[in-house]
Structure 1
Amino acid sequence: MTRYAIDRARNVLIAQWSTGIGDTATIVAELHREQPRRNVLRLAADLTELSRICWRSYTHPASTADQHGPHSLGWHRQQERDAFATVLPTLIAAKRPAPEPISTKVGQAAHAVARTLHTLNTPQLTTHVTTDVAAELAAIEQAELGDLSERAEQAAALSREDASPLQISQADTLLHAHPFGCEALLTQVDPTAAAIAAAHWFYAAVTITAQHTGLHQIQVVATAEQQGKPLAIESLTEITAVLSAGDRPRHVVMPLIRNALHIAEGRLRGITETQHRITAAEELIEKARSDHPELRLGPDTIYLPLTPLNPTRPAPDLLDNLLHGIKTCWQLYQQHADLPRPNPRNEAVEDSWQERLRHAFLTAIREETALRSGRLL
């Protein structure tokens, strides 16, 4: 989403958004010195809220709702998306919006911006703001079509409840060229789609590394915890278990992301899963009490994670975990190399050895993913 702010040094309204690897900003409009600071700050806040509400129609599309009848979740989401058509007319209306009940959050946010613009009463400012909001709505529509270029690149920092086959294929192509990840994967592809493709490649890396080292797949995955990402282990273990049972990456990635999105909104979905987590935690506490009574552990001393992902950015977080997992597999693969390691004092020979081993590893996982390509989409 786009965040709006006032640059006090230049006295301008700016729009700022993430690109997936950093933020960028653009000037929306110049402000007059005599305009009350409180009103221009209110305008920035109202525009930020409008952007947030509109981008939610992208991250939570009507198509992913469980129900689509009248007044169902899917129906309400479609109402919000349809309300996009009312935003610009609301902003350019000659009269100040009346405080009447509005059925959609998009409509409410648009009216809030319009009321602040009428309070500021600067036609030029209204024109510039309307132009910027039009660009924001166009960026959302562009992202819905799978094009994350220009202003739509901010979608690369969002977590979506769905992923298009086109975006998954694009991510798969990028991973084939760069199995450890690349900038384009982080900036040009929806992270939910990228995570689905990355799960496909991660499992191939786990499979190849397990064959190469003689370790069980779960032992291979467990090394990710030793490499500086302890919270990644749960999501990587779950993905490995589901894919080893023959299921598709989408069927494990989407529930992980959707559950985290629910938790971010203060809701738990799936009482049974939560009960399993609580039971496992209780068993762990009981064992710890037995083994280490001096620690005086109790239910109130344990923090129970509700999700293995960062609920504020679950899709990018899962993608980070999966790329970390692939790199961990490569490190473990090196440690069990069949090729005798050269004298480390000879850097040229060491580099050649590394390159040959790396080539063998990448070739093996590319062949493995090709064998499983029918399960990706």
Structure 2
Amino acid sequence: MTRYAIDPARNVLVALWSTGIGDTTTLVADLPEMEDIGNVRHLAAQLTRLSEICWRSYTHPASAADQHGPHSIGWRRQQERDAFAGVLPTLIAAHRTSVRPAATQVGRAAHAVAMALHTLGVPGLATHITTDVAAELAAIEQAELGDLSDRAEQAVALSREDASPLHISQADALLRAQPFGCPELLTQIDPAAASVAAAHWYHAAVTVAARHTGLHQVHVVASAEQHSKPLALESLTEITAVITSGGRPRHVVMPLIRNALHVADGHLRGITDIHERVIAAQDLLSKADADHPDLGLEPNTIFVPLTPLDPARPAPDLLDNLLHGIHTCWQVYQDGQTEEGRDELLQQFLGELRQEALDHTDRLL
């Protein structure tokens, strides 16, 4: 999403967004000299809110909803997406205080921006704001079509409930060229789609490392624990288990991302998963209490994570885990190797990895 801010040094309103690696900014409008900038800050906040709500139609498309009947989740999402058509007319009519707030979140957010503009009453400002919001809506529509260039590049920092087959194929091609990842994977590909492709390549890397070392896949995956985030092992283990049993990368990656998005919204999808997490935490507490009774551990001191991914950025977080996992597989593969001959061994690993991924490319899409 785009964030709006005031640059007091230049007295301008700017828009800024993530590019996957760093942020970029653009000038929205010059601001008049004023003693109290509270109303301008309010306008910036409302513009940020409008962007956030509109981009939610991209991250939570109606097509990804489980239900599509009247007044269902899919129906409501489509209502929000259809409300894009009324955003610019609402801003153009900012001088009319009689405009009624719409029934959708998008419509209400647009109305809030219009009212902030009306309160400021700065000649010409509404035109600049409308032009920028038009560019923002166009970027969302562009991202929906799979083009993440220019302003639509901010989509690479978001987590979508669906993954484009085109982006999965593009991510697969990038990983074939550079299996450890590359900047293009982080800045040009939707991270959910990139995670699907990376899961395919991670499983191939686990298979190659296990075959070369004679270790079981479980031990190869577990080696990531000592180098990674505490919860990364859980997602990597689940992905490996599902693909090994014949599942497709998409069928394990997307539920992980969707469940984390539900947690971010304050919801738990089903009770089975959280029940298992609570039981595991209780077992861990009992074992720790038996081994170290002097610590006096209490149940209320145990934190139970609701998801193995960062709810604020589940798709980029999972992609980070998978790329780290591929690199860890290489470390396992060359464990104990001296510096001499390591480059040759790396090429051997990459060759086997590419062949393994190619042999099972049918499961990718």
Give TM-score scaled by structure 1 length: 0.94
The letter for the 1-side match of 2:355 is E
How far did 1:251 drift? 0.6
Query: What SS does the corresponding residue of 1:307 show, helix, strand or coil?
Result: coil
How far did 1:227 drift? 1.4
- Residue of structure 2 in register with 1:347 after alignment: none
- Residue of structure 1 in register with 2:348 after alignment: 360
1:308 correspondence with 2:308: yes
Partners of 1:102 and 1:88 lie apart in 2 by 13
1:272 correspondence with 2:260: no
Partners of 1:115 and 1:226 lie apart in 2 by 53
Partners of 1:116 and 1:103 lie apart in 2 by 19
Greater displacement, 195-204 / 123-132: 123-132
Cα deviation, 1:136-175, whole Å, max 9, x if unaligned, reads: 0000000001110000000000000000100110111100
How far did 1:333 drift? 0.7
Cα deviation, 1:54-110, whole Å, max 9, x if unaligned, reads: 000000000011111111100000000000010011111264243635210000000
- Residue of structure 1 in register with 2:322 after alignment: 322
Query: What SS does the corresponding residue of 2:225 show, helix, strand or coil?
Result: helix
- Residue of structure 1 in register with 2:363 after alignment: 375
Query: What SS does the corresponding residue of 1:311 show, helix, strand or coil?
Result: coil
Partners of 1:98 and 1:225 lie apart in 2 by 59
Partners of 2:118 and 2:342 lie apart in 1 by 65
Gaps of 5+ in 1: 345-349
Contact residue 213 and residue 336 of structure 1 kept, 8 A? no
- Residue of structure 2 in register with 1:37 after alignment: 37
Partners of 1:114 and 1:303 lie apart in 2 by 44
Partners of 2:260 and 2:203 lie apart in 1 by 22
How far did 1:298 drift? 2.2
Q: How does 1:325-344 map to 2 (within 5 A)?
A: 325-335=325-335, 337=337, 341=338
From the superposition, tell whether residues 195 and 143 of structure 1 become closer, same or farther in structure 2 (CA, over 3 Å): same
1:213 correspondence with 2:213: yes
The letter for the 2-side match of 1:368 is E
Contact residue 94 and residue 115 of structure 2 kept, 8 A? no
Partners of 1:299 and 1:182 lie apart in 2 by 43
Partners of 1:228 and 1:161 lie apart in 2 by 25
How far did 1:358 drift? 1.0
Q: How does 1:236-275 map to 2 (within 5 A)?
A: 236-275=236-275
Cα deviation, 1:160-212, whole Å, max 9, x if unaligned, reads: 00001001101111000010000000000000000000000000000000001
Contact residue 94 and residue 126 of structure 2 kept, 8 A? no
Partners of 1:82 and 1:173 lie apart in 2 by 35
How far did 1:34 drift? 2.9
Q: What RMSD in Å do the two structures reach over aligned CA positions?
A: 1.2
How far did 1:336 drift? 5.2
Q: How does 1:89-104 map to 2 (within 5 A)?
A: 89-93=89-93, 95-98=95-98, 100-104=100-104
How far did 1:36 drift? 3.8
Aligned residues: 365
Partners of 2:97 and 2:60 lie apart in 1 by 28
Partners of 2:143 and 2:100 lie apart in 1 by 32
- Residue of structure 1 in register with 2:174 after alignment: 174
1:229 correspondence with 2:229: yes
The letter for the 1-side match of 2:24 is T
The letter for the 2-side match of 1:275 is H
Contact residue 12 and residue 28 of structure 1 kept, 8 A? yes
Partners of 1:91 and 1:284 lie apart in 2 by 56
Contact residue 159 and residue 192 of structure 2 kept, 8 A? yes
Cα deviation, 1:194-239, whole Å, max 9, x if unaligned, reads: 0000000000000000001111111001111111433211100110
Query: What SS does the corresponding residue of 2:224 show, helix, strand or coil?
Result: helix
1:13 correspondence with 2:13: yes
1:203 correspondence with 2:217: no
